[in-house]
Amino acid sequence: MTDESDSLKLALRGSSPDDLSQPPPLRLSSKAALFLDFDGTLVDIAAHPDHVEIAKALPTLIETLGEKLEGRLALVSGRALEALDRLLGPVDVAMAGSHGGEFRPCRSAEIHPLADQLPETIARPLGAFARDNGELLVERKPFSMAVHYRGRSDMRTPLLALARELAEAHGADVKDGKMVVEVVMPGSDKGSAVARFMEMPRFAGATPYFIGDDVTDEDAFRAVTAMGGEGILVGPMRETAASWRLESVEHVHAWLTRALAEDPAGTAGMTPDAENAGKAGERPA
Ligand SMILES: [Mg+2]
């Protein structure tokens, strides 16, 4: 994704495109750094956060891409790291959880907190609201608390109002996501997480790409763009700081898998559509 045809495509799209093109194939031989959101990007969003379906090939796909990129791959999710570990199993890649509040440079490393713990003065009233309004699903994380209102869209306005009031009173931020409102402590955003990874030696000099679907990924799209990289939006077109778009989780998997199939030995400069027909067997199981 680093050849000069990319800038040509950007020029052709103009500054306010009606839609974004699909990203060109990822070349693992280029010095790319890949940052991946989880829900809505690598797995389809489910009615309950614990009920997402993990594609069988996904853990291997992530780990193999990470190896090919010499460690320049990280998951950057709104979920707590504990939840990512539980869902994915022992995948040895860098991860940031809780929108960047939890930071882990590799699986064996300690988790560094990048934000302050969420105080009870926010958690208690938010929990009470969820309980008193039909037991909305609450996700308590170290640096944030999310209340999901899927199936109860009438709750969005009062929930958002309460979240904003609490956030303002305690110096926190509000993330207005897909069927979820979350109050997060400062320092806990995906742009900060990406910037933190990019400061690490193994990411030095790399071009960062962030793939994500939600409004909370816009911080990361802006961060990678400021560092000379590009954002890839997943899902329907909307106002976004991303430069490219992939239609669905399935398209993300295909795009990532294709990178491995096309560049099994780190072959530099191979054109995307040539010479790869027989290499599908190199894909991870
Ligand atoms: Mg997402």
**Ligand 1 centre from 79 Cα, in Å?**
9
Task: Indicate whether 272 pLDDT > 50.
Answer: no
pLDDT at position 264, please? 56
Query: Residue 3: which pLDDT band, with cuts at 50, 70 and 90?
Result: very low
**Ligand 1 centre from 39 Cα, in Å?**
4
37 in active site: yes
| Of 160 and 1, more confident | 160
| Of 270 and 27, more confident | 27
**Ligand 1 centre from 100 Cα, in Å?**
13
**Ligand 1 centre from 31 Cα, in Å?**
25
Of 8-12, 120-124, 249-253, 274-278, minimum mean pLDDT range: 274-278
Instruction: Determine what percent of the chain is predicted with pLDDT higher than 90.
Output: 66
- Residues with a beta carbon under 5 angstroms from ion ligand 1: 37, 39-40, 213-214
Write 206-209 long-range contacts (CB < 8 A, 24+).
Answer: 206/31, 206/32, 206/33, 206/72, 207/1, 207/2, 207/30, 207/31, 207/32, 207/33, 208/32, 208/33, 208/34, 208/35, 209/1, 209/23, 209/26, 209/32, 209/33, 209/34, 209/35
pLDDT at position 22, please? 95
pLDDT at position 265, please? 55
**Ligand 1 centre from 74 Cα, in Å?**
14
> pTM for the complete prediction?
0.77
Domains and CATH numbers, the chain: 31-113+188-282 (3.40.50.1000), 120-184 (3.30.70.1020)
Per residue in 20-65, pLDDT (tens digit) is: 999 999 998 889 999 999 999 999 998 888 899 999 999 999 999 9
pLDDT at position 266, please? 46
Task: Indicate whether 273 pLDDT > 60.
Answer: no
Q: Which of 37, 189, 213, 263 is catalytic?
A: 37
In terms of residues, how long is the chain? 285
Of 112-121, 232-241, 261-270, where does the model show the most confidence?
232-241
